[in-house]
Amino acid sequence: MLILSLLRVNVVLSLTVGAILGGLVGGLNMTETIEVFTGGLGGGATIALSYGLLGGFALAISRTGIPELLVQSLLRIVQRKGDSERTGLAKALIFLVLLTLAIMSQNLVPVHIAFIPLVVPPMIQLMNMLQIDRRLIATILTFGLIMPYMFMPYGFGLIYQEIIVDQIVAAGMDVSLSDVPKAMAIVALGMLVGLILAFFVYRKPRQYEQIAVETNAPQVVMKRRNIFFAVVALIASLAVQIPTDSMIIGSLVGIAVLYVTGALHVKEADRVLTDGMRMMAFVGFVMISANGFSAVLTATGDVAPLVASAMDMFNGNVSVAVFVMLIVGLIVTIGIGSSFATIPIIATIFVPIGIAFGLSELAIICLIGTAGVLGDAGSPASDSTLGPTAGLNVDGQHNHIWDTCVPTFLFYNIPQILFGWAAIMFFL
């Protein structure tokens, strides 16, 4: 399964093939393997439905005009302050605007990378005049696209943290959703350190040619009532999501508000919600197939011997074992480009090994959460790098690998490994 994933074979196919081969090698016949695999698929249904409904809600919110209003307002502020005498303030505003929008896109207004084509291309010429190094912009955007879902249990963050908890529970340890932010706080601090270092390294002016940029920002007719009800829908969604710890209920309430108030037109509602669900369908299918994969490995009874072999290989050295597992997580995520899809792949093995080494609940949560998020920054196939490049390379002057992947790999993966390892040892 891991080899196929790294060879860029579709992750769902990799998990399915890996499960069948694992069952056969583990002593199950084909019929038993298929029965166990299909029987385990239902464990990923909750996450799949959560992701689908959140995708529908996000696209519905984007059609109300609220993202465009926010972007236009912030652009007016930046451009008004962008004269030659106040370049420092203009730069600070650009940095703050992009960081705020990126963070909000994961938790408060969960539109993910959809805001980037709206806001970044119109800023390009202003960035060129201010001689801002676009590698810094890439690191700012990537920070905002990763840190919130890993640390804050709202929107995409709730889904990521639910995946962590569900997979750890499935692998044999009872943990609580409320423990995930505690376990990931030190790793989030590591990302903040990386962002600060990026500001220092890329502080010098960088020259770009002034090339006319054709923006793809859609022209949306913004109505005050629709924007008002979109805000009401977001507030209602969060108000329900927080006490229930359910993204499904939160998304349903948000969608219902848009329906009832007419902010989402009935004629286009079905198409919008379907498109939004389709946008998030991939991770949903990964979650479903990953649970089948986990069920087959467990049914073979070979996880325990594998854990015992790992104990012998590491000779009881917890610090080395933790470091190696973090590196494995990094390699997996860089290969498939999805932190959300990495968790089920690694949890089946990492959790039993962690338990055997005597790791605490917080230490295991931190291990799985960090190993999953490692590689999201720096992966050529990740939305967290593809999104920033799509916005910054509209004039052909921003290289995906060297200007987005390499900087984000250096400034985020290295701190995540160091701070994650230290946090696991602290929680030990």
Residue 295: per-residue pLDDT? 79
Residue 221: per-residue pLDDT? 57
Residue 246: per-residue pLDDT? 74
Length in residues, the chain: 428
Quick one: pLDDT band at residue 165, thresholds 50, 70, 90? very high
Domains of the chain: total: 1
Residue 225: per-residue pLDDT? 79
Residue 43: per-residue pLDDT? 67
- 281 token code pair: 């369908």
Quote the CA–CA distance of 394 and 85 in Å, as a whole number.
28
Residue 186: per-residue pLDDT? 95
Q: How many other CB atoms sit within 10 Å of the CB of residue 363?
A: 21
Long-range contacts of 203-210 (CB under 8 A, 24+ apart): 203/133, 203/136, 204/133, 205/131, 205/132, 205/133, 206/131, 206/132, 206/133, 206/134, 207/131, 208/127, 208/128, 208/131, 208/134, 208/395, 208/397, 209/128, 209/395, 209/397, 210/125, 210/128, 210/129
Average pLDDT score over residue span 112-134: 80
Residues 308-344 have pLDDT tens digits of 676 677 777 899 989 988 988 887 777 666 787 778 7
- Please state, rounded to an integer, the average pLDDT across all residues of the chain: 82
Q: Identify the weakest region by mean pLDDT among 179-183, 220-224, 345-349.
A: 220-224
Structural domain boundaries, residue 141: 2-427
pLDDT at 85 over 60: no
Residues 213-229 have pLDDT tens digits of 655 544 555 677 777 88
Residue 283: per-residue pLDDT? 61
pTM, whole model, 2 decimals? 0.74
Q: What is the 3 state secondary structure string of 2-61?
A: HHHHHCCCCHHHHHHHHHHHHHHHCCCCHHHHHHHHHHHHHHHHHHHHHHHHHHHHHHHH
pLDDT at 48 over 80: no
Q: Identify the weakest region by mean pLDDT among 26-40, 79-93, 307-321.
A: 79-93
Is 384 within 8 Å of 145 (Cβ atoms)?
yes
- Strand ranges (DSSP E) for 169-301? none
pLDDT at 159 over 80: yes
pLDDT at 71 over 70: no
pLDDT at 136 over 90: yes
Quick one: pLDDT band at residue 56, thresholds 50, 70, 90? confident
For residues 254 and 46, the model is more confident at 254
Residue 77: per-residue pLDDT? 63
Average pLDDT score over residue span 129-156: 91
Q: Identify the weakest region by mean pLDDT among 81-90, 127-136, 205-214.
A: 81-90
Is 248 within 8 Å of 50 (Cβ atoms)?
yes
pLDDT at 354 over 60: yes
Average pLDDT score over residue span 35-50: 77
Average pLDDT score over residue span 261-267: 79
Quick one: pLDDT band at residue 153, thresholds 50, 70, 90? confident
For residues 293 and 183, the model is more confident at 183
pLDDT at 263 over 90: no
Quote the CA–CA distance of 63 and 74 in Å, as a whole number.
19
Question: Which of 113, 105, 60, 49 minimizes the C-alpha distance to 284?
Answer: 49
